[in-house]
Amino acid sequence: MDFELSEEHRMVERMVYDFARNEILPSIREHDRNGTFPHELLPKMAAQGFMGICLPVRYDGAGMDFISLGLLSEGLEWADSSVRETIAVHLGLHALPIFQWGTEEQKERFLPPLATGENIACFGLTEPGAGSDVAAMTSRVRKEGDTYLVSGEKMWITLSDVADRFLVFAKTNQEEGTRGITAFLLERGWEGLTTGTIKGKMGVRASNTGWINMDEVPVPESHRLGEEGEGFKIAMSCLDNARYTVAAGAVGLMKYCLEASVAYARQRRTFGQPIGDHQLVKQLIAQMKQRVDLGELAVRKVGWLKNRGMRNTRETSMAKWYCTESAFATASDAVQVHGAYGYSDEYDVERHLRNSKSAVIYEGTSQIHQLMQADYEFGNRTDRPLRCEMPAYDPEYWQQ
């Protein structure tokens, strides 16, 4: 058993945190205040290889492993959840599913522009009336010859107005429930495809969140991901990737809140001493550190499972549930340590608190994860092998 990060991982960690400190932190408060997407960061992130960090070099990725993906997510969300969301969606929910489920032709065609950031991608599963209950989706498909005509409305879609590639799910068979769902790769500019932005979010205001409207969008067979009816399995496997980045990101958010709280508690004085000398503040700090350490352990274990090519749906769900709930509690405690100042956006912990609420809702609410964990325990849920499994990380293959 080895808990130590490799030298390579430590260098990735240092570089990502430097990037977050120098490139994200200086401008993110203004983006959050104005609800603007930090477009200027995308080319910088792409130049660093972030957009395809764990895709193989043969598809223009950086060839790093899943621990590195976790460290990237952690470092980005240390600065702001919005930026980490870009990686979660673009890579976790779009590029990695193509790598897992796509034909070789699709991988060669779609992955390089995603890995280099030439294309920015999103994921459309949720609908106005169907979130956790995926089978309730009403997006539907009519086939004309070799062409699928996709119609429906997707809601709460991260990057909807920024992306130029869309992985969307719609029913090719209305009678079949989840077994009737198929996955399609759509491109901006296609007839019948329109997008918009949702305003007034509580947090992640520097992220773009919106809707996708599809009105008989013609999709050729070359853009169907997986088989007809395989969409639900694909969507769930996508979540195994993205939930990992969400969990890792939540650890980064907690680390920021802890660092900021310790620094503040050292310099803020009440009753003649730094507030960090008061026992109840110490308790808050100790609890934050406990969550950081346990969250990090859960995330690292999932990264390790992914590197080994082992199924990790349950462990990823656990890490996502624990880390996002812990991040919400930690950000709230950080605001408490900062007192009235923490309630102002002059201090970043206020933004982290608003941001942290989103992650206990998306990528499976905390309630869904609790149901999943209980169902595993009662034997009501087992993970059957998939037609296309995410392969184990093999440096030779990834870096060739």
Partner 1 sequence: MNIIALVKQTPDTAQLSASMDGLKLSAEGGPRIVNPWDEYTLETAIQAREEHGGKVTALCLGPPEAADALKTALAMGVDEAVLVSDPAMADSDSLTSARILVAAIRKVGAFDLIVGGRAAIDGNTAATAVQVAALLGVPLVSYVAELRNLDPSDRTLSAVRLLEKARETVTSRLPALITVVKEINEPRYPSLIGIRKAARANIPIWGCKDLSLDAAAVGAGASGVEWRTELPPVREAHIEMIDGGPEDAARTLVDRLMEEKVI
Active site residues: 363
Strands 147-158 and 181-187, sheet pairing = unpaired
In this chain, which of 38, 56, 63, 131 binds partner 1, going by CB under 8 A?
Answer: 63
DSSP 388: S
In this chain, which of 28, 53, 115, 185 binds partner 1, going by CB under 8 A?
Answer: 53
Strand partners, 187: 165
- CA dist 103 and 85 (Å) reads 26
CA distances from 147 to 94, 125, 212, 219 (A): 22, 21, 20, 6
Binding mask 2-41 for partner 1 (x = CB under 8 A): ----xxx--xx-xx--xx----------------------
Q: How many CB atoms lie within 10 A of CB 340?
A: 7
* Dihedral, CA of residue 382, residue 383, residue 385 and residue 386, to nearest 10: 130
Nearer to partner 1, 6 or 174 (CB): 6
Q: Is 139 helix (H, G, I), strand (E, B) or coil?
A: coil
Q: Is 176 in the site for partner 1 (CB under 8 A)?
A: no
In this chain, which of 28, 37, 38, 49 binds partner 1, going by CB under 8 A?
Answer: 49
In this chain, which of 62, 87, 235, 284 binds partner 1, going by CB under 8 A?
Answer: 62
Q: Minimum CB separation from partner 1 for residue 262, in Å? A: 11
Q: Residue 309 class from Cβ within 10 Å (0-12 exposed, 13-18 middle, 19+ buried)?
A: middle
Nearer to partner 1, 322 or 398 (CB): 398
Given the structure tokens 């007839």, which residue do they identify?
A: 191
First vs last C-alpha separation in the chain: 28
Helical (H) or strand (E) element with 105 = helix 104-115
Nearer to partner 1, 63 or 113 (CB): 63
Backbone phi and psi for residue 167, each to the nearest 5 degrees, phi listed first: -100, 110
Q: Minimum CB separation from partner 1 for residue 92, in Å? A: 17
Nearer to partner 1, 233 or 255 (CB): 255
Q: Minimum CB separation from partner 1 for residue 79, in Å? A: 14
Helix (H), strand (E) counts: the chain: 13, 10
Q: Minimum CB separation from partner 1 for residue 57, in Å? A: 8
Q: Is 263 in the site for partner 1 (CB under 8 A)?
A: no
Nearer to partner 1, 380 or 399 (CB): 399
Residues of the shown chain interacting with partner 1 in the complex, contacts defined by CB under 8 A: 6-8, 11-12, 14-15, 18-19, 48-49, 53, 62-64, 68, 399
